[in-house]
Structures are given as C-alpha cells and as structure tokens.
Structure 1
Amino acid sequence: MATPAAPLELVHSTSVKPEDLRRRELAAFLRSRRERISPEQVGLPAVGRRRTPGLRREEVAQLAAVGVTWYTWLEQARDIQVSPQVLDAIARGLLLDINERQHLFSLADAADPAPIMTCPTVTPAVLAIMEKLEPLPAVAANSRYDILAYNRTYGRMLGDLDAIAPEDRNIMLLAFTHPDWKRSLVDYEAATALMVAKFRAAMADHVAEPAWKSLVKRLLLASPQFEALWRQHEVGTSGHGEKRFLNPEVGLLHFEFTTLWLGPRQSTRLITYTPADEETRERVEKLHAIAVAGG
C-alpha cells in the first residue's frame, strides 16, 4: 500500500524561513476570524449575494480604516510592514477576544499598544495550596514582583510582611529599600542582580505601561544599587535555584526554591521554598509556629 504524499508545505518546511511561516499563520488566522463574523455583528449592511461566510476583505479594510489592497496582501502572507496601531484596529474590527488579540500580536511579532489588562488575582484553589504547603514558605507574585498572596511562614521569613502597606509589597522595592529585607538576603549582590535581570526581561512586554515605568522611577530615585544594576541592561530568567535568608527569629535558612507558573503566560507565579538541609527544616517549623502564634 502506497504511503500518502505529505502536504506540500510539510515537504518544504525545512527551507521556509520562520518569518514566512509566521506570515502564513497570521494570514490563515485573519481569514478564519473574518469568516466567522457576519456584517450585522459589526454594524454593516448585508448587501449582495455572498459566496463565502462572514465578512468580505473590503469590509474588514473598511472597519480597520486601511486600504483593501493592503489588507488583501496581509491575508496573502505578503512581506509587508504592519504597524501595531493597524493591528489594533483590525483586532477591534474582527471583535477578537483577549486570547485572540494576544495571538494576533504574537503572530505579527508586534507589541500591543493597548493590551487588555486582567486583574492579578490568585484563585481560592491557589490560596488553599499555599496554606497546605505550610510550614514551607510560599508566595504568589506577578512578573513585576508585586506580592499577590503569601502564606504565614513566608510572611515572617524576611521580617513582618503583614506590617508593610499592601501598595509597598513588591519584592524588588523591599529588597532595595527595606532595611529588614536587605539584612535578610544573605547573598544580597547576586540575588538582587538576578532579580533586576529577570525584571528587565519581563518588562519587554510592558515597556509602555504606567505601573512598570512608575516602579522603575521609584527604584531609581530610592536606590543607587538598583540604578547601577539597571544601567547594565542585563536580562535573565530563572525558575529554580538556591537562596539563603538570615531570619532575626530563627537564624540562617537555606532553601531550594521552585517557580510554578499559574497561567498560560509567564506572569503570575507561585514560588515555593524547600529546606536544603535538616537544620533549615527544623528552623522553618519553628518560624511557622511563631507565625501561627502571631508572636
């Protein structure tokens, strides 16, 4: 029995450039979204006989305020420049939801000029997991290092986190400006250098967002150490490793930390700390007991 021939695009896939594949995917995605929308959904009259479902190309061009020829080239995967503003108009015209919009800008390799922000919440299920992890410390944070939730052990690991105003509960801000946190980070220079490198890498997707720019400005004004690291333009990522903390109540704590992502994108994450030795394990149990007692 003969083996069926592979599709043409698979046979030649090794010779196709990544940017060509990206344009093809973008073109196919736009066609699929266009064909699922009726004129009535976007306030256009359904005029004339339609051979295909959905909107015509000229109608999408009208909604996005671009030329019909230009939009046709886009759906034909031609090598043309697409501005983020035009992509934004197309996304609105095609009634794309948040996931479809993100996919559109990813395929176009462009930054979204008006990203749809989601509330950085931690679900009750995640909170339950963090509680069950005790006495091990655990914290949920976003890519900007805002602390979204933490269990009782983590709340006492670097001082009294409950005593800090919620708007100041940012790991970067505390590491560079809070005396208790600065004293608690045993390997301070290495830890803060990695933190800044990870923050800069994450900020590439948020360079125009006020909250990110505001945090950078606040850190630059408050910390010469942060300014020096920020000027180096180092970038990096890390999902696991070791950290040491000097806790004022129980002494030196040596952990292995693990990052668990809480969504499809590397943004909100759960960081857990596992004792690296028996001495730390005993001290963590003591720290947890102190936290539970509220002493």
Structure 2
Amino acid sequence: MKTTQELAAFLRTRRERLDPSDFGLPSRRQWRRTPGLRREEVAELAGVSIDYVVRLEQARGLNPSAEVVEALAGALRLAPDERAYLFDLAQQRPRSVDKPATTAAPALVQLIADLAPLPAMVLNHRFDILSWNGEMARLLLDFDQLPPAQRNAIWLCLLHPGMRDFYVDRDSVVRDGIAYLRTAWAAHPEDEVLAAIVDEVAGGEGELARLWAGQDVKVNGRGRKTMRHPEVGSVAVDFETLAPVQDPAQLVVIYRAADEQSQAALRQLSSG
C-alpha cells in the first residue's frame, strides 16, 4: 500500500463523515448525492482550489506542503491523532534516520526487572517486544516460546490464534490495535517488517481487513484491558506507556491492577 493512496482514502473518509449542518450548510438528501461535505466545500474551508482537493483524493502524485496539510486538517476538523497521521502521510513530520531498535537498551532491561512485581515490557516503534519481565510473560504468554518474528504486540493481539479469546472486550482491543498499527505505519512507511504486518492485516477479506478499511487512527498511551487468564481468571489492568528521553525509539509499557481482585490475581501469578 502506498502512502499517496492512503492519503487519498483518508481525506475522502474524513470529508464524508462530516455533518454539513455543523458548518451551516444544507444537509437534506435531495440536495446532496454523497455523504458529508462536498469537495468544493472542503476546498473553500481550507483555502485551496477544488482541483487540488480532487487530485489529492485521486492520489494523483501531489506533495502537499505543511501549510496545506494544516489547512486541510482544520477544514476536516481532525482530532490530534488524525492530524498527526495526516502529517505523516504527507511526509511533513521529521523522520528518524535511525534503524528500528532490535534490542532493548540495557538500562530499560534493568528498569523493567526492577518494576517487578508489576508486569512490564519494552517495545520498539513497530511494537516488537524487545524485553519483558517474568510477570509480563506469566500474564500474557511465554514469549521465549515464540519465534522472534511473532514477538510483536500488535501481531499477537490481532493474529495469534491463542489470543483470540484472551481479551474480554476483544472488539475494542482489536480496533485499537489496528488504529495503532495504522499510525505506526504512516510514521515509518519505509519499514518493511511493519509493512508486512499491515499487508497481513489488510490483505484479506475478514474482520481485520474491514476494520483497516475504516481508516481509524489512534495513539493512546494509557487505558484499561480485561483479560481471561487460564490460571487466575479475569484480570483487569491499567496500562501506561512511557517514552524514555535517552531512547525515544523505545517504549516502556507497564501494567497495574485495576481492582483488588485483579491485584490478588497478579500477586498469585507473580508468586507462581
């Protein structure tokens, strides 16, 4: 998948989801053959020509400037995550020239060990699991038993057969996973490993491909997940994602029990 095609699709879906009445425009069906705003309305709001919007939505090789991207983001009323995604697609955000981290920084390895009994792990930008403590392995699965190519948090969430029924609210977890994947891919379109995961998710005809086509974008560094653990039952955790200043290409993810029952479950796993 090319970024120009994704940019075109993203602009179309964001235009079509807008309610004309929010802009003081007529919304009666007989006046509008397509949902959302018309291209000429977006062009006027963004201060660009109609032809320019048409060419962008048809992936006809334009490279919009940062000023145009900002104008389009405002016209389409994009959320912060969506705005950042649009800048990435237009290649208007600074990109790191460093290769993806394949091993965790030693200081971070020591950090997640020191965080025990809290489950913790280190990820790179494409969500490869670079290091983990024993508590995280006992909560999720034994990463040592996986081929290195499958030690990826997004791949495990979306594609590992053994994880399909692991999350209580699987639909929400899968939607978030796809939204994270889309954001990471836009920021690193040159990453062939990440692109392969995207192809595996988006290339079929099932649930994942349908959700990918929804164009959802999300960057969420904290939240809550509830899991069905085969040994200790239901476990609800709040997760926090930290980006170390010294190693900004790596992320530290920490789980904390969300309630007393889950705290007892984590304590039992930690002592096992």
* CA contact 1:159–1:247 (8 Å) conserved in 2: no
Instruction: Say whether 1:198 aligns with 2:177.
Output: no
Report SS of the residue matched to 1:184.
coil
**Which of these two proteins has the greater Rg computed from alpha carbons?**
1
Tell me the TM-score normalized by structure 2.
0.61
SS at match of 2:237: strand
- Provide the alpha-carbon RMSD of the alignment: 2.9
SS at 1:134 equivalent: coil
Any idea what the Cα deviations from partners look like across 1:52-78, whole Å, max 9, x if unmatched? Answer: xxxxxxxxxxxxxxxxxxxxxxxxxxx
Unpaired stretches in structure 1, ≥5 consecutive residues: 1-80, 84-105, 291-295
Q: Residue 276 of structure 1: which of 255, 258, 261 is its match?
A: 258
The 3 A distance-change label for structure 1 pair 266 and 224 is farther
1:240 is aligned, of 214, 222, 227, to 222
Deviation string, structure 1 residues 205-254 (Cα, Å, up to 9, x no partner): 21233222112123335782221111111111111111111110111111
Give the aligned length: 187
User: Is 1:131 matched with 2:99?
Assistant: no
Name the CA distance, whole Å, in 2 between partners of 1:195 and 1:186: 15
Q: Is 1:211 the equivalent of 2:193?
A: yes
Alpha-carbon distance in 1 for matches of 2:208, 2:246: 30
Matching residue of 1:51: none
In the alignment, which residue of structure 2 is the partner of 1:160? 142
Question: What is the Cα deviation at residue 149 of structure 1?
Answer: 0.9
Give CA-to-partner distance per residue, 1:8-57, whole Å, 9 cap, x none. Answer: xxxxxxxxxxxxxxxxxxxxxxxxxxxxxxxxxxxxxxxxxxxxxxxxxx
User: Deviations 1:134-190 (Å, cap 9, x if unpaired)?
Assistant: 121111112211111111111121233221112111112111222322221111110
User: Which one-letter code corresponds to 1:198 in the other structure?
Assistant: Y
The amino acid across from 2:264 in the alignment is: E
Distance 1:254 1:113, change over 3 A: closer
Going from structure 1 to structure 2, the CA distance change for 1:111 and 1:274 (only over 3 Å counts) comes to closer
Unaligned runs of 5+ in 2: 1-62, 66-87
AA of the residue aligned to 2:148: P
1-side partners of 2:168 and 2:198: how far apart? 24
Partner Cα separation in structure 2 for residue 199 and residue 264 of structure 1: 24
Q: Partner residue of 1:150?
A: 132
**Higher normalized contact order (CA 8 Å, seq sep 6+, divided by chain length):** 2
